[in-house]
Amino acid sequence: MNPDSPLSLFITGASSGLGEALVLAYAAPGVRIGLVARRGHLLKDVGRQAEKAGARVALYEGDVTDKSKMEGIARDFLDHFSAPDLIFANAGQGGGSGYAIERSLMEVNHFGVQNTILPFLPALQEKGSGQIAVISSLAAYRGLPGSGDYCASKAALKAYSDSLRLVLFPFGTTVTIVNPGYIRTEMTRDNPPMPFCWSAGKAAATIRRRLRHRPARIEFPFPMVISVRLLALLPPRWGDYLIRWSRPRKASKDRRIGAK
Protein backbone atom coordinates (compact mmCIF):
# COMPACT_ATOMS: atom_id res chain seq x y z
CA MET A 1 0.00 0.00 0.00
CA ASN A 2 1.21 3.52 -0.78
CA PRO A 3 1.51 5.19 2.65
CA ASP A 4 0.35 8.48 1.13
CA SER A 5 -2.93 6.90 0.01
CA PRO A 6 -4.44 4.81 2.82
CA LEU A 7 -7.48 2.85 1.71
CA SER A 8 -9.23 2.97 5.09
CA LEU A 9 -9.11 5.50 7.90
CA PHE A 10 -10.67 5.90 11.33
CA ILE A 11 -10.90 9.44 12.73
CA THR A 12 -12.26 10.66 16.07
CA GLY A 13 -13.28 14.22 16.78
CA ALA A 14 -14.30 14.40 13.13
CA SER A 15 -17.17 16.90 13.30
CA SER A 16 -15.12 20.12 13.35
CA GLY A 17 -11.69 21.69 13.60
CA LEU A 18 -8.63 19.61 12.79
CA GLY A 19 -10.67 16.39 12.64
CA GLU A 20 -12.92 17.78 9.92
CA ALA A 21 -9.90 19.11 8.03
CA LEU A 22 -8.23 15.69 8.17
CA VAL A 23 -11.38 14.03 6.79
CA LEU A 24 -11.48 16.43 3.86
CA ALA A 25 -7.72 16.08 3.27
CA TYR A 26 -8.01 12.30 2.85
CA ALA A 27 -11.46 11.89 1.30
CA ALA A 28 -11.16 10.57 -2.26
CA PRO A 29 -12.69 7.91 -4.53
CA GLY A 30 -12.04 4.42 -3.15
CA VAL A 31 -11.16 5.59 0.37
CA ARG A 32 -13.19 4.20 3.30
CA ILE A 33 -13.46 6.43 6.35
CA GLY A 34 -15.01 5.84 9.78
CA LEU A 35 -15.90 9.11 11.50
CA VAL A 36 -16.59 9.49 15.23
CA ALA A 37 -17.91 12.57 17.04
CA ARG A 38 -20.39 13.52 19.76
CA ARG A 39 -22.34 16.05 17.69
CA GLY A 40 -24.29 14.00 15.20
CA HIS A 41 -25.71 16.88 13.16
CA LEU A 42 -22.24 18.27 12.45
CA LEU A 43 -20.88 14.79 11.81
CA LYS A 44 -23.50 14.19 9.10
CA ASP A 45 -22.45 17.37 7.32
CA VAL A 46 -18.79 16.34 7.32
CA GLY A 47 -19.81 12.88 6.11
CA ARG A 48 -21.71 14.38 3.20
CA GLN A 49 -18.66 16.42 2.20
CA ALA A 50 -16.47 13.30 2.31
CA GLU A 51 -18.97 11.32 0.22
CA LYS A 52 -19.13 14.17 -2.30
CA ALA A 53 -15.35 13.76 -2.69
CA GLY A 54 -15.92 10.08 -3.49
CA ALA A 55 -15.18 8.42 -0.16
CA ARG A 56 -17.24 5.67 1.39
CA VAL A 57 -18.19 6.84 4.87
CA ALA A 58 -19.41 5.24 8.11
CA LEU A 59 -20.69 7.68 10.74
CA TYR A 60 -20.57 6.92 14.47
CA GLU A 61 -22.07 9.28 17.00
CA GLY A 62 -20.28 8.63 20.27
CA ASP A 63 -18.03 9.89 23.04
CA VAL A 64 -14.43 8.64 23.21
CA THR A 65 -14.64 8.49 27.01
CA ASP A 66 -17.25 5.72 26.72
CA LYS A 67 -15.06 2.60 26.58
CA SER A 68 -17.89 0.17 25.78
CA LYS A 69 -19.27 2.43 23.06
CA MET A 70 -15.87 2.79 21.41
CA GLU A 71 -15.37 -1.00 21.49
CA GLY A 72 -18.72 -1.43 19.73
CA ILE A 73 -17.83 1.20 17.13
CA ALA A 74 -14.50 -0.51 16.46
CA ARG A 75 -16.22 -3.89 15.99
CA ASP A 76 -18.65 -2.40 13.50
CA PHE A 77 -15.86 -0.72 11.55
CA LEU A 78 -13.84 -3.93 11.44
CA ASP A 79 -16.89 -5.89 10.25
CA HIS A 80 -17.49 -3.49 7.37
CA PHE A 81 -13.99 -2.30 6.41
CA SER A 82 -11.45 -4.62 8.14
CA ALA A 83 -8.42 -3.22 10.01
CA PRO A 84 -7.80 0.45 9.20
CA ASP A 85 -4.65 1.53 7.42
CA LEU A 86 -4.55 4.74 9.45
CA ILE A 87 -6.12 5.74 12.77
CA PHE A 88 -6.31 9.37 13.87
CA ALA A 89 -6.88 9.61 17.63
CA ASN A 90 -7.85 13.24 17.32
CA ALA A 91 -10.72 13.93 19.74
CA GLY A 92 -9.62 16.32 22.46
CA GLN A 93 -10.69 18.97 24.94
CA GLY A 94 -9.25 22.39 25.66
CA GLY A 95 -8.41 23.95 28.99
CA GLY A 96 -10.65 25.48 31.63
CA SER A 97 -11.08 25.73 35.37
CA GLY A 98 -13.11 23.79 37.90
CA TYR A 99 -12.80 20.23 39.19
CA ALA A 100 -15.23 18.70 36.69
CA ILE A 101 -13.43 20.21 33.70
CA GLU A 102 -10.02 19.26 35.06
CA ARG A 103 -11.03 15.59 35.41
CA SER A 104 -12.68 15.66 32.00
CA LEU A 105 -9.44 16.83 30.38
CA MET A 106 -7.66 13.62 31.36
CA GLU A 107 -10.68 11.46 30.51
CA VAL A 108 -10.91 12.88 26.98
CA ASN A 109 -7.32 13.74 26.09
CA HIS A 110 -5.64 10.63 27.49
CA PHE A 111 -8.10 7.84 28.20
CA GLY A 112 -10.15 8.76 25.14
CA VAL A 113 -7.10 8.03 23.00
CA GLN A 114 -6.68 4.64 24.67
CA ASN A 115 -10.35 3.86 24.08
CA THR A 116 -9.87 4.75 20.41
CA ILE A 117 -6.76 2.68 19.77
CA LEU A 118 -6.91 -0.42 21.98
CA PRO A 119 -9.96 -2.09 20.33
CA PHE A 120 -8.11 -2.12 16.99
CA LEU A 121 -4.79 -3.55 18.18
CA PRO A 122 -5.57 -7.28 17.74
CA ALA A 123 -6.71 -6.66 14.14
CA LEU A 124 -3.68 -4.47 13.40
CA GLN A 125 -1.29 -7.06 14.81
CA GLU A 126 -2.91 -9.78 12.75
CA LYS A 127 -2.75 -7.59 9.66
CA GLY A 128 0.94 -6.89 10.23
CA SER A 129 0.75 -3.24 9.19
CA GLY A 130 -0.99 0.00 9.96
CA GLN A 131 -0.37 3.50 11.17
CA ILE A 132 -1.61 5.36 14.26
CA ALA A 133 -1.45 9.15 14.54
CA VAL A 134 -2.11 10.56 18.00
CA ILE A 135 -2.99 14.27 18.07
CA SER A 136 -1.38 15.86 21.12
CA SER A 137 0.09 19.36 21.57
CA LEU A 138 3.33 21.24 22.10
CA ALA A 139 1.88 21.92 25.55
CA ALA A 140 3.10 18.42 26.43
CA TYR A 141 6.63 19.74 26.93
CA ARG A 142 6.15 22.20 29.79
CA GLY A 143 3.56 23.05 32.44
CA LEU A 144 2.16 26.55 31.96
CA PRO A 145 0.32 28.79 34.44
CA GLY A 146 -3.43 28.24 34.42
CA SER A 147 -3.10 25.24 32.07
CA GLY A 148 -1.63 22.59 34.34
CA ASP A 149 -4.33 19.98 33.76
CA TYR A 150 -4.32 20.47 29.99
CA CYS A 151 -0.51 20.27 29.83
CA ALA A 152 -0.55 17.19 32.09
CA SER A 153 -3.07 15.41 29.87
CA LYS A 154 -0.91 16.06 26.80
CA ALA A 155 2.29 15.07 28.59
CA ALA A 156 0.66 11.75 29.55
CA LEU A 157 -0.36 11.28 25.94
CA LYS A 158 3.17 11.94 24.71
CA ALA A 159 4.67 9.35 27.07
CA TYR A 160 1.93 6.82 26.26
CA SER A 161 2.47 7.21 22.51
CA ASP A 162 6.24 6.77 22.84
CA SER A 163 5.65 3.54 24.76
CA LEU A 164 3.02 2.28 22.33
CA ARG A 165 5.34 2.89 19.39
CA LEU A 166 7.93 0.54 20.89
CA VAL A 167 5.31 -2.13 21.64
CA LEU A 168 3.77 -2.10 18.16
CA PHE A 169 6.95 -1.80 16.08
CA PRO A 170 7.55 -5.58 15.91
CA PHE A 171 4.01 -6.01 14.53
CA GLY A 172 4.52 -3.58 11.65
CA THR A 173 2.33 -0.80 13.07
CA THR A 174 3.89 2.65 13.42
CA VAL A 175 2.82 5.29 15.94
CA THR A 176 3.28 9.01 15.30
CA ILE A 177 2.52 11.65 17.90
CA VAL A 178 1.48 14.97 16.40
CA ASN A 179 2.31 18.03 18.51
CA PRO A 180 0.87 21.16 16.90
CA GLY A 181 1.08 24.69 18.19
CA TYR A 182 -2.01 26.88 17.99
CA ILE A 183 -4.65 25.91 15.43
CA ARG A 184 -7.60 28.16 14.59
CA THR A 185 -10.64 26.09 15.50
CA GLU A 186 -13.94 26.36 17.35
CA MET A 187 -12.12 25.32 20.54
CA THR A 188 -9.60 28.20 20.34
CA ARG A 189 -11.81 30.97 18.95
CA ASP A 190 -12.12 32.70 22.35
CA ASN A 191 -8.41 32.49 23.13
CA PRO A 192 -6.29 35.64 23.45
CA PRO A 193 -3.98 36.35 20.46
CA MET A 194 -2.18 33.12 19.51
CA PRO A 195 1.36 33.37 18.09
CA PHE A 196 2.12 31.46 14.89
CA CYS A 197 -1.49 30.29 14.64
CA TRP A 198 -2.30 27.99 11.68
CA SER A 199 -5.59 27.21 10.00
CA ALA A 200 -6.96 23.69 10.43
CA GLY A 201 -6.60 23.09 6.69
CA LYS A 202 -2.90 24.01 6.69
CA ALA A 203 -2.29 21.80 9.72
CA ALA A 204 -4.10 18.82 8.12
CA ALA A 205 -2.14 19.20 4.88
CA THR A 206 1.14 19.30 6.81
CA ILE A 207 0.22 16.23 8.85
CA ARG A 208 -0.74 14.27 5.74
CA ARG A 209 2.48 15.20 3.95
CA ARG A 210 4.75 14.30 6.85
CA LEU A 211 2.94 11.06 7.71
CA ARG A 212 4.16 9.61 4.41
CA HIS A 213 7.52 9.02 6.10
CA ARG A 214 5.99 7.45 9.23
CA PRO A 215 7.99 9.59 11.69
CA ALA A 216 7.91 9.20 15.45
CA ARG A 217 6.82 12.84 15.83
CA ILE A 218 5.32 15.63 13.78
CA GLU A 219 5.64 19.10 15.30
CA PHE A 220 4.86 22.57 13.96
CA PRO A 221 5.17 25.51 13.52
CA PHE A 222 8.97 25.64 13.62
CA PRO A 223 9.45 28.84 15.70
CA MET A 224 7.16 27.53 18.43
CA VAL A 225 8.73 24.07 18.35
CA ILE A 226 12.17 25.58 18.95
CA SER A 227 10.82 27.78 21.75
CA VAL A 228 9.11 25.02 23.73
CA ARG A 229 11.95 22.54 23.21
CA LEU A 230 14.51 25.04 24.53
CA LEU A 231 12.22 25.99 27.41
CA ALA A 232 11.93 22.33 28.40
CA LEU A 233 15.73 21.94 28.39
CA LEU A 234 16.41 24.92 30.65
CA PRO A 235 16.84 24.50 34.41
CA PRO A 236 13.38 24.84 35.99
CA ARG A 237 14.22 28.15 37.70
CA TRP A 238 15.30 29.74 34.41
CA GLY A 239 12.25 28.40 32.60
CA ASP A 240 9.94 29.69 35.34
CA TYR A 241 11.53 33.13 35.12
CA LEU A 242 11.09 33.35 31.34
CA ILE A 243 7.46 32.27 31.54
CA ARG A 244 6.66 34.78 34.31
CA TRP A 245 8.48 37.53 32.43
CA SER A 246 6.59 36.88 29.19
CA ARG A 247 3.08 36.77 30.72
CA PRO A 248 0.90 39.44 32.35
CA ARG A 249 1.91 39.95 35.98
CA LYS A 250 -1.62 40.06 37.38
CA ALA A 251 -3.26 36.62 37.22
CA SER A 252 -7.02 36.52 36.80
CA LYS A 253 -9.01 35.03 39.66
CA ASP A 254 -10.33 32.13 37.59
CA ARG A 255 -6.75 30.99 36.97
CA ARG A 256 -5.92 30.55 40.65
CA ILE A 257 -5.52 27.02 41.94
CA GLY A 258 -8.81 25.63 43.14
CA ALA A 259 -10.95 28.22 41.35
CA LYS A 260 -14.41 26.99 40.43
Residues designated as active site: 150
Residues 88, 180: Cα–Cα separation, whole Å: 14
Burial of 123-135, coded b for 16+ CB within 10 Å and e otherwise, reads: bbbebeebbbbbb
Q: At what angle do helices 40-52 and 17-26 cross, to 10 degrees?
A: 20
Residues 134, 219: Cα–Cα separation, whole Å: 12
Q: Which residues contact 8 (CB under 8 A, 6 or more apart)?
A: 31, 32, 33, 34, 81, 82, 83, 84, 85, 86
